[in-house]
Structure 1
Amino acid sequence: MPVRRAKHAGSWYSDSGSDLSRQLDNWLNQADLTHGPARAIIAPHAGYQYCGPCGGHAYRQISPVVVKRIFILGPSHHVRLSGCALSGAQKYKTPLYDLAIDTAVNSELEMTGQFEWMDLDTDENEHSIEMHLPYVAKVMENFKNQFTVVPILVGSLSPDREACYGRILSSYLADPKNLFIISSDFCHWGHRFRYTYYDRTYGNIYQSIEGLDRVGMNIIENLDPTEFTNYLKKYGNTICGRHPIGILLQAIQELLRNDSTQNATLKFLKYAQSSKCRTMNDSSVSYAAAALVLE
């Protein structure tokens, strides 16, 4: 039975279950339940010392009592994918407890002909999904044997491909028992990221970065996938989870087309930066937490 190891435990986050549990509790307790119960969240995937507190604001919106299945869509950083890939593992390990993969849903998705498979090395080397697993385990700890996860690694997609995956996943998004986690950091700024866009009308560089990110965040809140694609083309903002976000926006639009009684509201709840850039030699990564409510 293939088991995916927690390869980033002990470096990107604590490998001590008790320490990790206390840390996650602290961040969740610092956040307020203001936009829930969430049907989907957007949350970052950097080392917890940088983005852990920000992520707590998204995870605080989850109602674990209703959740039975959790889809985690993360961008592929190391392997080039033309589409989306499923995990062949049976379980994902965390320092808290193991998470069971939903093999039945994997089979359903495979039958669409649109999904490929990750090998175990690709799965374990990628951090965009793993960084959400401890938060998932913590939020769901009172229901640890009553839910499954569906990890989906997202490649570099055209808008048409994002729409294709959005249509496939919209029926799962429509089910209140399903939760979607969209894994994304926001602007990666600095020479080491080969991105130094600076609008001086905002003031300091870090203020320009936030202004740029908030333009994108507002577009995401408007649930407009075409406008989001145009924004990315115009500014080139280095949002690493842009394709998972695009899939979510397409899934929401497909859901609303099929059910005119649905009302969807997505709100960003927290924004943070790893550091405040003031000179062109500085660098930073931005983090944002959001929640989607369907009524």
Structure 2
Amino acid sequence: MRQTAVAGQFYPKNQKDLKKELSRCFRNTEVQPREIKGAVAPHAGYIYSGEVAAHAYALLPEADTYVLFGPNHTGYGSAVALSQDTWTTPLGNVETDRELGKLLAGSIVDYDEIAHRFEHSIEVQIPFLQYRFGEGFRILPICMGLQDEETAIEVGREVARAARESGKRVVFIASSDFTHYQSAERASDNDHYLIEPVIRMDIPEFYRRREERNITACGFGPIAATMAASRESGAVKASLLRYATSGDVTGDRSQVVGYAAIVFE
């Protein structure tokens, strides 16, 4: 069982309080499921980024399995690590899709629980799925310590292949924040510059721009993997649903973190 690592920090650890907080996150969204193949959602504390994340989750369709790509902030475990444990949150337990996981055997993706033990980037996404879909889904958590372009594309394509072979309905989700600890003005400029090739689903240009300006989007590999997997699964367009920064909540615009909700369909 993969226990919570950041309940009580990034989101409430009490079930009633968590449901209330999630309801607040969705207050300015309308749940309108579309044929979404993939999405990008932030992973900061819900008070800062939860409303942005809700814009992506409000459009997700019901699926058999949600593949969650997250960056590895801790440095523990394998370079590309798949969890097969059951995950628990204050809203209950969620099973991993072990059948889909087995189809990745022998690929670049390793079976490894250590990388996930203290990592928050995937954990904070799961209550959004539970709030939207209850108990009728599974997850496939993949933590990426290695995020270079070649690796990200290979991971995305391998997972898309496994999804096709499984015959299941699968949606891919990248967990990432964007610019870290710069002024709101500079963060917004850099982040929109980086988001533009994401909207075009242009992975090489996405990497080129990130490196050109040294943009501190922590989950750039998961974003690229989601782009690759979504495209392999038939996505032909992408949309930026909402962009915001932590300064919109705190009022301090001198050192912010950027957040974006993006979907591929």
After TM superposition, the score normalised by the length of structure 2 is 0.90
SS of 1:56's equivalent in the other structure is: helix
Q: In the alignment, which residue of structure 1 is the partner of 2:226?
A: 248
Which amino acid in 2 is paired with 1:160?
E
Q: In the TM superposition, what are the counterparts of 1:40-55 in structure 2 within 5 Å?
A: 40-55=38-53
Distance 2:11 2:65 in 1: 24
Q: In the alignment, which residue of structure 1 is the partner of 2:82?
A: 86
SS of 1:185's equivalent in the other structure is: coil
Deviates more, 1:237-246 or 1:73-82: 73-82
Deviates more, 1:227-236 or 1:19-28: 19-28
Please state how far the C-alpha of 1:162 moved relative to its aligned partner.
1.9
Q: In the alignment, which residue of structure 2 is the partner of 1:195?
A: none
The number of equivalent residue pairs is: 260
Q: Aligned to 2:173, which of 181, 190, 204?
A: 181
Q: Aligned to 2:213, which of 224, 227, 235?
A: 235
Q: Aligned to 1:149, which of 134, 139, 143?
A: 139
Distance 1:218 1:245 in 2: 13
SS of 1:264's equivalent in the other structure is: coil
Distance 2:156 2:94 in 1: 25
After TM superposition, the score normalised by the length of structure 1 is 0.81
SS of 1:168's equivalent in the other structure is: helix
Residue 242 (structure 2) pairs with residue 270 (structure 1): yes
Distance 2:244 2:190 in 1: 13
Which amino acid in 1 is paired with 2:178?
F
Distance 1:232 1:80 in 2: 24
Distance 1:263 1:241 in 2: 20
> In terms of Rg, which structure is larger?
1
Q: Aligned to 2:108, which of 98, 102, 114?
A: 114
SS of 1:113's equivalent in the other structure is: coil
Which amino acid in 1 is paired with 2:129?
V
Q: In the alignment, which residue of structure 2 is the partner of 1:226?
A: 204
Structure 2 unaligned residues grouped into runs of 5+: none
Contact 1:36 1:291 in 2 (8 A): no
Q: In the alignment, which residue of structure 2 is the partner of 1:25?
A: 23
Q: In the alignment, which residue of structure 1 is the partner of 2:124?
A: 131
Contact 1:41 1:290 in 2 (8 A): yes
Distance 1:62 1:253 in 2: 16
Q: Aligned to 2:148, which of 147, 158, 182?
A: 158
SS of 2:26's equivalent in the other structure is: helix
Aligned alpha-carbon RMSD (Å):
2.1
| CA distance 1:173–1:268, shift in 2 (3 Å) | farther
Runs (4+) of structure 1 exceeding 4 A deviation are: 172-176
Contact 2:109 2:155 in 1 (8 A): no
Contact 1:44 1:183 in 2 (8 A): yes
Which amino acid in 2 is paired with 1:171?
R
Structure 1 unaligned residues grouped into runs of 5+: 191-204, 256-261
Q: In the alignment, which residue of structure 2 is the partner of 1:16?
A: 14
Q: In the alignment, which residue of structure 2 is the partner of 1:289?
A: 261
Please state how far the C-alpha of 1:135 moved relative to its aligned partner.
0.7
Distance 1:59 1:22 in 2: 16
Distance 2:192 2:3 in 1: 35
